[in-house]
Amino acid sequence: MDPKFRIASITDEFSPADPARSLAQMASIGMTGAELRVLWGKNIMDLNDDEMARLRHLLQGHGMEVISIASPILKCVLPNGPEIDTRFQQDIFNSKHTFEDQPELLDRAFRIAKFFGARIIRVFSYWRTVDPDACFDAVCTAMQGMAEKAAKEDLIIGIENEHACNIATAAQAARLLNAVQHPNLKLVWDPANALVSEEIPFPNGYALLPKDRIAHVHVKDCHMDGHKPIWGPVGTRQVDWKGQVAALAADGYTGWLSLETHWPGPGGDKFLASTICGWNMRGLASM
């Protein structure tokens, strides 16, 4: 059965070292979209011109559309903010950029997006502190500024609700989107991240979101052991993915479902984990 939604993956969820292997497996599952984060062991922001050209050739050879630059923008400490909440793991994906680097990173992300024909630049909301509300105004200011710059490039800033950052839940994302009404700021909705942040992502969290501001959806699954997420195969854990996908269809969502596995896989085989989750996601997208 063909998926009703277009399906994609962050390529390094299959292999961070070998994008050709990732793309071949993604295509075999029926994926036609790719998000770029780590390629040949390097963060997308750090690829040189030759590597970018090589990557574009690989993508074209596998019939892949680049849908998002999965940047690390604002995965950094907010200066003069509250203390960092150490309960949450900070995944940096081979990126070591600081607050001072962010303007240059954004310009670089725009150039990369144009090179690959992507529309969405994924961003975050500074590393999560013990008082996220105290960071809200600073996050709003950053999002407004980035959205204004993105509008000049005909690109979308996609703020992801990330459990290790200050905008972690649907409630927090909805508040941000209400405060920053710019049309070039939209949401990368990640139900599992909301779950890790102690919110019921569907139906509770999803009900709070402005549906016309959802630009992209990340797919992964887990259950909670206290405050710790235990990642597993998509559709088998605590996120109601059947309900979520049905609601997206009913609400007229026309974007992608994109895999972000997280599950280490049987025996630590992440490539197999992503293959299993990719097929599970295809099944959900076809219902």
| DSSP output for 209-255 | S-GGGEEEEEE-EEEEETTEEEEESTTSSSS-HHHHHHHHHHTT--S
The class that CATH gives domain 6-285 is alpha beta
Assess whether pLDDT exceeds 80 at residue 175.
yes
Q: Can you tell me the mean pLDDT for 229-256? A: 98
The two structure tokens encoding residue 76: 């950094």
**pLDDT for the residue 1:** 62
**pLDDT for the residue 285:** 96
Q: Can you tell me the mean pLDDT for 213-239? A: 97
**pLDDT for the residue 2:** 73
Measure the CA dihedral 175/177/181/182, to 10°: 150
Structural contact between residues 230 and 223, judged by C-beta atoms closer than 8 angstroms: yes
Alpha-carbon gap, residue 284 to 239, rounded angstroms:
12
- 52-77 residue pLDDT tens: 999 999 999 999 999 999 999 999 99
Assess whether pLDDT exceeds 90 at residue 95.
no
- 190-212 residue pLDDT tens: 999 999 999 999 999 999 999 99
Q: Can you tell me the mean pLDDT for 25-32? A: 98
Please name the amino acid found at residue 154.
Answer: D
**pLDDT for the residue 5:** 96
**pLDDT for the residue 91:** 67
Which pTM does this prediction carry?
A: 0.96
Share of the chain above pLDDT 70, in %: 97
Assess whether pLDDT exceeds 70 at residue 93.
no
Q: Can you tell me the mean pLDDT for 8-12? A: 98
119 vs 33, 61, 104, CA distance in Å?
12, 20, 19
**pLDDT for the residue 87:** 78
